[in-house]
Structure 1
């Protein structure tokens, strides 16, 4: 603590940020890492692994076709009305139920802040379920709310003014083909994006596991994190600046089918990429990402303090992160933070990152427009992101699967790596069930057979011949 105080005092006197990372030069792959210069003087460290594998250009499975038909209407009284007209998902990942709304249903929500309260949601003729699993990913827990029965909706929740003047209407009508992504497929790439204070090292267990499974994996350090360069300007850490970095990394390494995996703040960048490249993003994973709300920096936050003050408080902030980020706080968790270079950023970067989280486009409508299958993973003991926020995300998204690990917290990929790897791998291999082709039945129905016997008897018995048939027969004889 005394060392942090002295460093902060020197920081105030010199008007410079401490622990400045020297910008790295663009170079070849060094020790399994690449340094990519996304902009002049802006260099990111990237870990890119292409494993040795038998090359299979095309997926062996046929996959399933999914019709995305959705109408999203925002009314001026603050209501979001979602109508689904597409096909129902006929299969879910192993040990995983559909955590979002069923298709051919209607969702109505209030456009309120998820951080303050959870708005009421009515889903007529539909029911949403979510799953809770332990470290083995096997136990189940229903976390969804049952839809109100028809005719029993509270009159106070009845839509009274929403149909008057719609503020905005979005219509989605597209067809998606979803197939299993195996490590032997050369057209599959996995992108891992960390959050504030992290680094690509927090994905060590996932990168090693999936590279051994034959997947091509890509993970990058955000600017000012890990071994990436640290620009000394606050504008370099806004959401749009960081999103542009991730977009350039995605364009550099993207394959035909890409899966995005984001954690915390990194989930927002995955959502941004899924909107920018809907044809290339095949699936997406959100780990403790929170609710579908637009980002806006908080005015009353400790991170608004001067950088030198934050540097003095860095030991306290690190202890608070350990307390809130892990379900258990012990020597093992402290070593995980140290080994994975988590929450090891300068006070200047931390302050700029928190104040730069401005993304007004990322609201409920923005997330509701996503048509990609999404797996939501949440740690039950997460103190940064309440489980209600991920439940709300599952209700807004078109095709979402919510999994809650009861033994994990915010840094769940480090606490429960085996469970997280299993869930992710099952999701990568999942594909909707293809509806069976309709076959013509050679056997006649009972009523058809009866009708045929009646027609036969009527033909044999002249007295039972229909008038029209009799007239037609008489006309034929005259001809």
Structure 2
């Protein structure tokens, strides 16, 4: 700690960086690791595991497929077609009204393979950035005179003219994704200060089940290169990195698993590639509000000051990121190479979280089944943010892990792995579709729909 403080003071006095901005750890290739150049001079470390699957025996009835053909019927199994119809209206007073007009799927728990159908519903929320405008006080009611009729109630106020209307109307195929399906790939995306190593338990677990898994270090994290320019760590720059990784390794059906800041990149990819992204998992990702860097954050301090404070920051992250702060948790941080990035990279990452497009409407347009996982002891992301996300998303499941915190996938790997696997195998049950159509009673709840196309008026 004293060495860290001394190096920080020296860099403040000399105006030079305390150390070179280099990736943490070795850049030597290792088993199942690849180094992908997404842009000239911008190299990301990727862990890519392709499991050994036994090739099915070819019979006379089954034609031999070429190397470029997908085994759709044999691998995908039977898929379920869901009609997705949704109308999203934004009013000038800050009100967001979501009307679900198609097949609405909902299930509170994922202990079973089939979700239940609910009738159409309407969700009304207030935009997070809406500031209430003071209105003139309402006139006090006049007491009726004895012997006279009560005055008629005032007419109901009509909503103002919509500011924006988005309509979604399409069909989506949803099916179970098993490890034996060669057209399925799992992508894991970490958040600020993490690395692909935080997914160690998940990568090993699902690769043993036969899944193809891909996880990458963000720029400046893990063993990826760390450019010494702040523009390299904006949301858009990192999102383009993840786009390049996705396009390189994507299969026909892809499942995205994001943690914290990594959830935003999964959201971006799901929005950009609705036909290829089959399901999404959001672990402690927070609410659907647009990303905005805090001007009063400690991470706005100069990198040399952050270097001096690095031991305190690491201790604060341990305390806030884990439900317990023991030797086991410290070892998990060390093994996961978490919160071990250069102060310049940390500052640039926190300052680059600007994504105004990622607002409530952007999330409401998402069209894939989404599992929300929240650790109840998370001190970074409040519970109500994930609850708000579940209300806005089309097709959402929310699962709370009582013993988990922000780094729940490292604290409770068995629970998270089982939950994720259930979600991968989940497929909707449409047998009650006709029965729910005849039910005239609307139901309020979390909207669950999917789509490929939408129009913005």
TM-score after normalising by structure 2: 0.82
1:15-414 to structure 2, matched below 5 A, reads 15-18=16-19, 20-21=21-22, 30-55=30-55, 57-58=71-72, 59=75, 61-89=77-105, 94-95=110-111, 104-113=120-129, 160=157, 163-414=159-410
Shift of 1:180: 0.3
Residue of structure 2 in register with 1:415 after alignment: 411
Partner-residue secondary structure (3-state), 1:218: strand
Alignment partners' CA distance in 2, 1:198 and 1:437: 43
Bigger Cα Rg: 1
Q: Per the alignment, do residues 100 and 378 of structure 1 end up closer, same or farther by CA in structure 2, a change over 3 Å counting? A: farther
Higher-RCO chain (CA-CA 8 Å, sequence separation at least 6): 2
Partner-residue secondary structure (3-state), 2:429: coil
Counterpart contact for 1:191–1:261, Cα < 8 Å: yes
**Aligned length, in residue pairs:** 396
State the superposition RMSD in angstroms.
2.7
Gaps of 5+ in 2: 57-70, 132-152, 435-457
Alignment partners' CA distance in 2, 1:346 and 1:240: 20
Alignment partners' CA distance in 1, 2:284 and 2:2: 34
Shift of 1:61: 3.0
Alignment partners' CA distance in 2, 1:270 and 1:236: 19
Q: Per the alignment, do residues 19 and 414 of structure 1 end up closer, same or farther by CA in structure 2, a change over 3 Å counting? A: farther
Counterpart contact for 1:25–1:35, Cα < 8 Å: no
Alignment partners' CA distance in 1, 2:235 and 2:118: 32
Q: Per the alignment, do residues 91 and 63 of structure 1 end up closer, same or farther by CA in structure 2, a change over 3 Å counting? A: farther
Gaps of 5+ in 1: 117-154, 439-479
Shift of 1:3: 1.1
Q: Per the alignment, do residues 255 and 159 of structure 1 end up closer, same or farther by CA in structure 2, a change over 3 Å counting? A: farther
Alignment partners' CA distance in 2, 1:260 and 1:92: 21
Residue of structure 2 in register with 1:131 after alignment: none
Shift of 1:208: 0.1
Q: Deviations over 1:113-145 (max 9, x none)?
A: 59x9xxxxxxxxxxxxxxxxxxxxxxxxxxxxx
Q: Per the alignment, do residues 171 and 214 of structure 1 end up closer, same or farther by CA in structure 2, a change over 3 Å counting? A: same
Partner-residue secondary structure (3-state), 1:240: helix
Residue of structure 2 in register with 1:6 after alignment: 6
Q: Per the alignment, do residues 417 and 437 of structure 1 end up closer, same or farther by CA in structure 2, a change over 3 Å counting? A: closer
Shift of 1:267: 0.1
Shift of 1:415: 0.0
Counterpart contact for 2:76–2:175, Cα < 8 Å: no
Partner-residue secondary structure (3-state), 2:124: strand
Partner-residue secondary structure (3-state), 1:313: helix
Alignment partners' CA distance in 1, 2:425 and 2:311: 42
Q: Per the alignment, do residues 99 and 394 of structure 1 end up closer, same or farther by CA in structure 2, a change over 3 Å counting? A: farther
